Structure 1
Amino acid sequence: MRLWSRELWRLAWLATLGVCLGWLAGAPGLGLAAGLAGCLVYHLRQLRALFLWLTLRPSDEPPAARGMWGELFDRLYRYQKGQRLTQSRLRAMLGRIQESSEAMRDSVVMLDRHGDLEWWNSAASEMLGLVTAHDRGQHITNLLRDPRFVSYFNARAYAEPLTLSSPIDERRILQYQITLYGDDERLVMARDITRLHQLEQMRRDFVANVSHELRTPLTVLAGYLETYEDMAEQLPPRLSKGIQRMQEQTLRMQNLVNDLLLLSRLEIDQGGDDHAELEVAPLLMSIAEDARALSRRRHTLQVEIESKKRLLGSEQELRSAISNLAFNAVRYTPEGSTIVLRWRIEASGEGCIEVTDDGEGIDPIHIPRLTERFYRVDKGRSAATGGTGLGLAIAKHVLLRHQAQLTITSSPGKGASFYCRFPAGRLR
């Protein structure tokens, strides 16, 4: 405000001086115009100096000036210095980010809001075959054309990673993970999991082969034990009791081998060939009847059908998954408990097969691991029930093959609920 007052006083002084000089010459109006013109010329010169400084020599010291123009030059100069310092820091930070990304073994690809390639590290060039000179600005799906990746990219549901082979080397297995950030921009990361994939494949082959090889000796052993059981009256009581225990354990081993083989098949086979539209009500009623036979009518089994919609899937696989849930409810709840099998449509449009009981419940600390192979909440009690520890793992894999999810809720003393949620696209 003080500088503005000075400029007004300067303008008034020049006008007054012009009027005085013009009065002496007999033309005060011309003198006033001359004074104002001199003030205009001064400001135009300062504007020209500002223009030349900003356009031709922005990094030089500002032009020398007094008053309001001098203050303006100083303020602009300080602002420029601050901006240059900020830009320098940002460039250094971007440089460090790029250097750290270059040092990563995982591929890092930055996409704009349209899905076009902006930047990637050298690992992406090696794994995905990206070429800087040709691919910058291209849409990601023009280079990664696998239909599964295109569907994954367009679905915008990136909670789970996607596993595919490399587009330039089918022997190389990559795990893709996409993250949304900024103004709808995306960061695509690809990790080489070839070694892990090979180890997992070796484990599956080992389990499948060992389980297959065990079937023959177990069948032979079970056959001879049945023969001895027919001769139980001719055998000593102690030997007869031992044969009975051997039969029980042989049957348990056969069930374990069968479950391992089924789990291996579910992991290896993509499935989908036998999918058809299923009536859910008859399926649940049949499973409930089998569960009643298992419990010897010591539990109350109820079936509640809240929707007439059919479900697209494999009847054999879904029967296996839901039966495991129902049989577990029978095995691990006390006599007199009520078990409910329910089919309903949720508000989200998803179909849900629900298996609930009012038994003792499960401590929430165990729930995240319930679907692991051979995981048991109570090892002693689980062994006594004759379970193999693979039922929930089988159910989980069956549901994954149907694009469904298994959700478990429970708390001690309040029973347990198992929800099998199927996407709306599988409902008919």
Structure 2
Amino acid sequence: MHLWSRELWRIAWLGTLGVVLGWLFGAPGFGLALGLAACLFHHLRQLRALYQWLTLEPSEEPPAAKGLWGDLLDRLYRYQKSQRITQGRLRAMLARIQESSEAMRDSVVMLDRHGDLEWWNSAATEMLGLKTAHDRGQHITNLLRDPGFVRYFASREYREPLTLTSPIDERRILQYQITLYGDDERLLMARDITRLHRLEQMRQDFVANVSHELRTPLTVLSGYLETYGDLSDQLPPRLGRGILQMQSQTRRMENLVNDLLLLSRLEIDQGGKDHQSLSLAPLLDSICQDARALSAQQHKTPQRIELDLEGDLRLMGSEQELRSAISNLVFNAVRYAPAGSHIILRCGVLPTGEGYVEVQDNGHGIDPIHIPRLTERFYRVDKGRSTATGGTGLGLAIVKHVLLRHDARLVIDSLPEQGARFRCVFPATRLHPT
């Protein structure tokens, strides 16, 4: 501010000097104009020096100047110097990021807000076939044309990864994950999971084959035990009790094998072939009747099992798979809720337009710490109680896979001693008007 005041005083002084000199020669106006012209010439000269410095030699020190122009040139020089330091740091950081990305075995692809390619590492060239010179600026779906990837990219729902074969090598299995960042830009990562996929395939084949091979000896064993059971009154008491226990464990083993086979089929088979529009009312009524029979068999005081239908909901799906999933939820409530408790099987439409089928009970409930793991195979909240009730530990895993094949999700709400609610939520696209 001090320099600016001095500059104003300098202009006023030059103007006054011009007026005085002009008055001596009888032309004060001409003298004022001459003084202002001298001031303008000085500023134009400094402006020209500034322009040349900024355009021709911005990295050199600024030209020498005094007063306001000297201070301005010094400030600009310091600002440029700090900017060069900042840009150098950013370039070094970007170089380190690119070097680290190049060192990664996973593909890393940067996309702009339109989905066009901006940068990728060498792993992306190897896995996805991207070429630096030709593909830069191309839209990602012009190069990765698999319909599954195109739908995944357009959906903007990137919570779960996508698994597909490599576009340049069908023997390689890739897992894609997209992350949104910045101004609607995307970071695409692809990981080679061929080895994990083969191990998972081996596991599925092993479980399916072992389960299938166990069915025949179990059937033979069950047949003989049933024959011996019919003759239990002719056997010694200790042997009769042993036959009954063997029958119980054989039935439990058969249930486990059947669940393993069903789970393997759900994992391997893509599904959708037997999907049709079906009415849930008769299906749920049939499941309720089976649940009442199971309750009467397992509890001295049967539970009160109620069916609550909010209209006749029609759903596009597989009747066999939906029966298996909903039955597992209802039968679990029968097994684990205490005698005399109240179980409700309910279905309807949510305010969001989604359909739902839920099982609610007023039993012991579940600690929320267990809820995230309930759909894992063989996970048990209470191992002793599950074994006693005949559960296989695969019921909720089957429910999860059935719902995935129907584009649905499982929502579990429960607290200790406050009962539990298992809700299957189906998208509106699966519902059919009645």
Residue 288 of structure 2 corresponds to: 288
Per-residue CA deviation, residues 193-226 of structure 1 (Å, 9 max, x unaligned), is: 1111111111111110100111111111112222
Per-residue CA deviation, residues 73-124 of structure 1 (Å, 9 max, x unaligned), is: 1111111111111111111111111111111111111111111111111111
| Alpha-carbon shift at residue 369 of structure 1 (Å) | 1.5
Residue 234 of structure 2 corresponds to: 234
23-32 or 257-266, which moves further after superposition? 23-32
Per-residue CA deviation, residues 211-242 of structure 1 (Å, 9 max, x unaligned), is: 01111111111122222233334333322222
Separation in 2, partners of 1:233, 1:29: 139
What TM-score comes out, normalization by structure 1 length?
A: 0.97
Separation in 2, partners of 1:14, 1:234: 134
Question: Tell me, what secondary structure is at the counterpart of 2:258?
Answer: helix
What TM-score comes out, normalization by structure 2 length?
A: 0.96
Separation in 2, partners of 1:222, 1:146: 50
Separation in 2, partners of 1:210, 1:99: 48
Letter in 1 for 2:17: L
Question: Tell me, what secondary structure is at the counterpart of 1:170?
Answer: coil
| Alpha-carbon shift at residue 251 of structure 1 (Å) | 1.3
Matched, 1:168 2:168: yes
Matched, 1:418 2:419: no
Contact 2:291/2:334 (CA < 8 Å) preserved in 1? yes
Residue 299 of structure 1 corresponds to: 303
Question: Tell me, what secondary structure is at the counterpart of 2:64?
Answer: coil
Question: Tell me, what secondary structure is at the counterpart of 2:363?
Answer: coil
Letter in 1 for 2:58: P
Question: Tell me, what secondary structure is at the counterpart of 2:340?
Answer: coil
Matched, 1:308 2:312: yes
Per-residue CA deviation, residues 126-172 of structure 1 (Å, 9 max, x unaligned), is: 11111111111111111111111111111111111111111111111
Residue 349 of structure 2 corresponds to: 345
| Alpha-carbon shift at residue 371 of structure 1 (Å) | 1.1
Question: Tell me, what secondary structure is at the counterpart of 2:119?
Answer: strand
Residue 55 of structure 1 corresponds to: 55
Where structure 1 has 5 or more consecutive residues not aligned to the other structure, the ranges are none
Residue 367 of structure 2 corresponds to: 363
| Alpha-carbon shift at residue 16 of structure 1 (Å) | 2.7
Matched, 1:427 2:431: yes
Separation in 1, partners of 2:311, 2:159: 29
Work out which of the residue numbers 321, 324, 335 in structure 2 matches 1:320: 324
Residue 244 of structure 2 corresponds to: 244
Are the structure 2 counterparts of residues 307 and 151 from structure 1 closer, same or farther at C-alpha, using a change threshold of 3 Å? farther
Letter in 1 for 2:280: V
Separation in 1, partners of 2:380, 2:172: 36
Matched, 1:402 2:413: no
20-29 or 283-292, which moves further after superposition? 20-29
Question: Tell me, what secondary structure is at the counterpart of 1:191?
Answer: strand
| Alpha-carbon shift at residue 23 of structure 1 (Å) | 3.5
Residue 142 of structure 1 corresponds to: 142
| Alpha-carbon shift at residue 44 of structure 1 (Å) | 1.0
Question: Tell me, what secondary structure is at the counterpart of 1:335?
Answer: coil
| Alpha-carbon shift at residue 71 of structure 1 (Å) | 1.1
Separation in 2, partners of 1:391, 1:186: 38
Per-residue CA deviation, residues 337-377 of structure 1 (Å, 9 max, x unaligned), is: 11101112112221111101001111222212111111111
Residue 264 of structure 2 corresponds to: 264
Matched, 1:330 2:334: yes
Separation in 2, partners of 1:290, 1:389: 20
| Alpha-carbon shift at residue 26 of structure 1 (Å) | 3.8
Residue 373 of structure 1 corresponds to: 377
Separation in 2, partners of 1:3, 1:377: 79
| Alpha-carbon shift at residue 398 of structure 1 (Å) | 0.6
233-242 or 357-366, which moves further after superposition? 233-242
Sequence identity percentage: 77
Contact 2:212/2:261 (CA < 8 Å) preserved in 1? yes
Residue 118 of structure 2 corresponds to: 118
Question: Tell me, what secondary structure is at the counterpart of 1:341?
Answer: strand
Separation in 1, partners of 2:422, 2:362: 12
Separation in 1, partners of 2:166, 2:385: 47
Letter in 1 for 2:372: P
Where structure 2 has 5 or more consecutive residues not aligned to the other structure, the ranges are none
